[in-house]
Amino acid sequence: MSPTYLTKDPVLVPNTGYIFVAPEGTPKPTLPLDIRNLRTLRETVGFPWESIGNTSLENGITHESEGDDPEVLGTWQNPSLRTTNPPKIYTVTLALADFTVETYKLYYGGGTVAADGSFVIPSVPAASTKAMLIVAVDGDRHVVEYYERVSLIGAEGVTYDPAALTEMPVRATILGGVAGLGEISPVMWGKAVVVNPPTITTTDVTSAAPGSRVKITGTYLTAPITVWFGIYEGTEVTTTPTGTELTVTVPKPVETGDLAVDLKVETNFGESATKPFTIDQAP
């Protein structure tokens, strides 16, 4: 299925999230992803993407930018002649919580494994360059960040706190790729979600005056929902629990006289085909 992006309430509370890395230049997986659990997510992300494991719940993922602020340049005659566009460096800081060899390599910048399994910290650290994928999940919806090339290495020191999980902060400096610095999706439904756009079957009238109530029957007429009379939004929309009927108040247009419009309904799963309708403003 193609991604279905939310339009009615495209907000996100990232209750869970996942971070994957792969060799630099690895293409972005096909969206949407199956976000039901880590197993289904790994399957849809596919090889060669690998999860970096647990990250901090408290500190999350921090996006930062460094660089000068734009300056307004001008002349005596025109004080605001132009604005500068200074370059920016964008970074993402990840607080890694797994104590594994792969995590150590990201934090310490390389390294090897001793005969007894211990990690040997390199004397000369070198940042690793990889592709990175961040998946922020809110129930059935998610946002995906994709970076074709990032440089990863430890950001700050590690503190052993007996009252908290120990974290190893790693900073990913975004290097950019063929098409810009990276990509971030709008909020979209997960691959396993059944997407049913609304439909309009009938309306009880085909014309009505502003302020009148109109009844619409159809399917998947569920909140959050908007009823459009052309470019004008209907008000006081009420729906039935079955999603097969709604009532809406006809808006008052700016134009005078009778106005022929296309009537349609829109939900987070898409919009219906239009029906002809006339906003009756006869004198």
CA 183 to CA 18: how far, in whole Å?
Answer: 16
Per-residue pLDDT of 46-82, as tens digits, reads: 999 999 999 988 777 888 998 888 898 888 889 888 8
- The token pair at 123 is 């004397």
CATH classification (class only), 16-189: few secondary structures
H-state helical runs in the chain? 38-45, 101-108
Contact 201, 215 (CB under 8 A): no
pLDDT at 42: 96
**Amino acid occupying residue 109:** G
Q: Roughly how many angstroms between the first and final C-alpha of the chain, as a whole number?
A: 50
The mean per-residue pLDDT over the stretch 180-186 comes to 93
Q: Is the dihedral of CA 214, 218, 224, 226 positive or negative?
A: negative
- Give the C-alpha distances (Å, rounded to integers) separating 224 from 2, 9, 73, 83: 21, 8, 46, 41
Whether 249 shows a pLDDT value over 90: the answer reads yes
Per-residue pLDDT of 158-182, as tens digits, reads: 889 898 889 999 999 999 888 789 9
- Region(s) of the chain under CATH 2.60.40.10: 199-279
Look at the domain 199-279 and name its fold: Immunoglobulin-like (2.60.40)
- Region(s) of the chain under CATH 4.10.410: 16-189
Whether 266 shows a pLDDT value over 90: the answer reads yes
